[in-house]
A and B are shown apart, each in its own frame.
Chain A
């Protein structure tokens, strides 16, 4: 697929972005939990054109054994982009970018997983970006923490993530692919709401100190919104299961 041309303006005269959003507006987000059969936990996220599938396995026996830790579970994470997920085919060999992102995503999740309950095991998080549209590491984290919860792994809370950036001199929430590419800065953030900790923070581009502070506040507000969407997505799956179980119980009593 040829790359789309650079848009003339990222924000029009009325302050509307190329996809019709306001500066502080998220893209539509769709979350689904538990759609894979074999994985212990799974989640799927669509955010704009991002389509990301996450599978979680574990706690399971550590392989290779020497990576096991005596006092806690090892958290393992792989962020990967499918070759067809971007305009120009991505070489399937792991890139330096993917290796860096796997690391920062793992570090964004470590503090919420109660790893000390499962010494000598691994908990594996596989993030597969099927289609990428800017902000994929954040969408990946949002889905990964849902998949961990779906796997029944004890966690302090869910991690929510969202990026902000600067386009045409304005701080804007949740940059799309084109905005990220032709914008001036990108600031992905992951947040653990109750602990009040920012567990992923990266930045590239140029931001003044004030812009950074404003952007961080915007990102954290968006993380709050995403956090409640995550809770809804989990409830949606497990309340249905609860209803089914209750119905079954009732029919058994009648019989």
Chain B
């Protein structure tokens, strides 16, 4: 069951400062409303994964590992591989996170990232079939939050795309009933490059890439995931209040621009 979360006491004390700053056109970390924090992307840190990327978005840190294994397809899609996205919000990343089964925040994060990749048809699912209806390759995207300083959705989206774009796999073939791997690595076939852009409404102002302090006092949050042709492929609103129709129109246009900027950085980093 989902219930209203508690605002940490410090956030309550900071509330007015953060809102007043944003209202006067400034932000607590000295950015403009439409700018991201410094973005760093490193790929290939985890040798045992097919693909991996660590992203720092300001002080937020996210590690994504991509593993490709053989498995069975879903009965309703016998001619497609399988994509699974999972997110881990472990207690090392924030005093707000606890051990135990995945929180609704973790589930929402994983599902929003999943939606962007799935709906934009980023991973070429048809190319992952070994034997129709019986054996396919399963792509696991595991999101590991290392440090939570706000806007985990965008950090995870960037890391997921970087990890997928840099993933290498052995060529798998079916010999009789057995899967054999041929030597020589080839890239995971990608058809699209979805990038999530998240906005927060703080007071009456909308800012991009909210830092933790802004996230804690925001009225509402909106994530818009943009695919490579500039179309929307996923959206998710969060937070206790909402957006006006005009605000949504403005935000969607800005998302297209921001997604393009970040996509260029991601693809450059993935090429290494």
Q: A76-B2, A102-B1 are in contact. Are A107 and B239 (CB under 8 A)?
A: yes
Q: By the criterion CB–CB under 8 Å, are B1 and A77 in contact?
A: yes
The 6 A-B residue pairs with the shortest CB-CB distance, nearest first, are A197-B242, A203-B235, A199-B242, A102-B2, A201-B237, A110-B240
* CB contacts between A and B, total, < 8 Å: 128
Q: Is B24 an interface residue (CB 8 A)?
A: no
Q: How far is the CB of A67 from chain B (nearest CB, A)?
A: 6
**B256 nearest in chain A by CB position:** A209
Q: How far is the CB of A13 from chain B (nearest CB, A)?
A: 27
Q: By the criterion CB–CB under 8 Å, are A213 and B234 in contact?
A: no
Q: A204-B119, A205-B119 are in contact. Are A100 and B108 (CB under 8 A)?
A: yes
The stretch that binds A, out of B45-53, B170-178, B247-255, is: B247-255
**B7 nearest in chain A by CB position:** A69
> Chain A contact residues: over half helix, strand or loop, or mixed?
mixed
**B227 nearest in chain A by CB position:** A206
Q: Is A207 an interface residue (CB 8 A)?
A: yes
Q: Is A114 an interface residue (CB 8 A)?
A: no
Q: By the criterion CB–CB under 8 Å, are A202 and B244 in contact?
A: no
Docked pose: A115 CA to B4 CA in angstroms: 11
Q: How far is the CB of A155 from chain B (nearest CB, A)?
A: 14
Interface size on B, residues (CB 8 A): 38
**B221 nearest in chain A by CB position:** A107
Chain B residues with CB under 8 Å of A97's CB are 111
Chain A residues with CB under 8 Å of B234's CB are 203-204
**B6 nearest in chain A by CB position:** A69
Docked pose: A65 CA to B49 CA in angstroms: 43
Q: By the criterion CB–CB under 8 Å, are A204 and B115 in contact?
A: yes
Which one of B115, B237, B252 lies within 8 Å of A212 (CB-CB)?
B252
Q: Is A85 an interface residue (CB 8 A)?
A: no
Docked pose: A74 CA to B3 CA in angstroms: 6
Docked pose: A182 CA to B242 CA in angstroms: 30
Q: Is A198 an interface residue (CB 8 A)?
A: yes
Q: How far is the CB of A225 from chain B (nearest CB, A)?
A: 16
Chain B residues with CB under 8 Å of A77's CB are 1-3
Chain B residues with CB under 8 Å of A76's CB are 1-4
Q: How far is the CB of B106 from chain A (nearest CB, A)?
A: 10
Q: How far is the CB of A210 from chain B (nearest CB, A)?
A: 10
Interface size on A, residues (CB 8 A): 47
> Chain B contact residues: over half helix, strand or loop, or mixed?
mixed
Which one of A72, A100, A199, A216 lies within 8 Å of B104 (CB-CB)?
A100
Q: Is A143 an interface residue (CB 8 A)?
A: no
Chain A residues with CB under 8 Å of B64's CB are none
Q: Is B91 an interface residue (CB 8 A)?
A: no
Chain A residues with CB under 8 Å of B118's CB are 204
Q: By the criterion CB–CB under 8 Å, are A110 and B241 in contact?
A: yes
Q: By the criterion CB–CB under 8 Å, are A206 and B119 in contact?
A: yes
Can you list, as one digit per residue, whether each of A84-97 has a CB less than 8 Å from chain B (1) or not (0)? 00000000000011
Chain A residues with CB under 8 Å of B19's CB are none
Chain A residues with CB under 8 Å of B239's CB are 107
Q: By the criterion CB–CB under 8 Å, are A199 and B237 in contact?
A: yes
Q: By the criterion CB–CB under 8 Å, are B120 and A206 in contact?
A: yes
Which one of A100, A107, A208 lies within 8 Å of B231 (CB-CB)?
A208
Q: By the criterion CB–CB under 8 Å, are A99 and B2 in contact?
A: yes
**A124 nearest in chain B by CB position:** B1
Q: By the criterion CB–CB under 8 Å, are B4 and A74 in contact?
A: yes
Q: By the criterion CB–CB under 8 Å, are A110 and B4 in contact?
A: yes
Q: By the criterion CB–CB under 8 Å, are B245 and A103 in contact?
A: no
Docked pose: A145 CA to B241 CA in angstroms: 15
**B118 nearest in chain A by CB position:** A204
Can you list, as one digit per residue, whether each of A208-225 has a CB less than 8 Å from chain B (1) or not (0)? 110011001100100000
Q: How far is the CB of B210 from chain A (nearest CB, A)?
A: 16
Docked pose: A228 CA to B29 CA in angstroms: 45
